[in-house]
Structure 1
Amino acid sequence: MNPTDTNDAPTLALHALAWTLADPARARRLLDLTGLDADALRGSAANRGTQAAVLGFLEAHEPDLVACAAELGVKPETLVAARRSLEA
């Protein structure tokens, strides 16, 4: 999976969300830590706050951050910068 524009924070966050949800244990941890349920996550996936939360979730667990970045073909710092952009 490669985002077409790695400078587009919302697109990058959605790709990161898809990567996160591809693993059931990681998806459950995301839901548990954010307090969202699957329906709420689906309904708010386009929300910048939710997108920032997904990236923050990855940032809080470096192995996931590094693995997701590698899968998306970006540097971990790019995901961190995207979160900051979404929070601004």
Structure 2
Amino acid sequence: MLEDDAALALHALGWILSDEPRAERLLALTGLSPDELRASLGEPPTLAAILSFLAHHENDLVACAEALQVPPASIAAAAQRLEGPPA
């Protein structure tokens, strides 16, 4: 399941990066630089941050879900799985 979640996060990132203001907002809210984002793309916390970014912005969540042809709830659920259990 985590492989599917990771793939979803990477597809979502492609959608996010297709719009420069949205991409800049992702970087600002996650605190990642473009180089840090590239370097950490295989790490669950980064993938979770990408999906959480969408889950916290309903308009983007719905638009991305439509573009990727998945239910919006699946994006939010994947973010939670990638974040792991609460500490």
TM-score (norm: length of structure 2): 0.91
1:39 aligns with 35
Per-residue deviation, 1:43: 0.4
Matched, 1:75 2:64: no
Matched, 1:8 2:33: no
Per-residue deviation, 1:11: 0.3
Question: Among residues 68, 83, 86, which one is paired with 1:87 in the alignment?
Answer: 83
1:56-75 matched pairs, under 5 angstroms = 56-75=52-71
Q: Which amino acid aligns with 2:75?
A: L
Unmatched segments (≥5 aa) in structure 1: none
Question: Among residues 47, 51, 58, which one is paired with 1:51 in the alignment?
Answer: 47
Identical positions, percent? 53
Q: Is the partner of 2:48 in helix, strand or coil?
A: helix
TM-score (norm: length of structure 1): 0.90
Deviation per CA, 1:20-53: give whole Å up to 9, x if none.
0110000000001111110000001111100000
Q: Provide the alpha-carbon RMSD of the alignment.
A: 1.4
Unmatched segments (≥5 aa) in structure 2: none
Per-residue deviation, 1:84: 1.0
Q: How many residues align?
A: 83
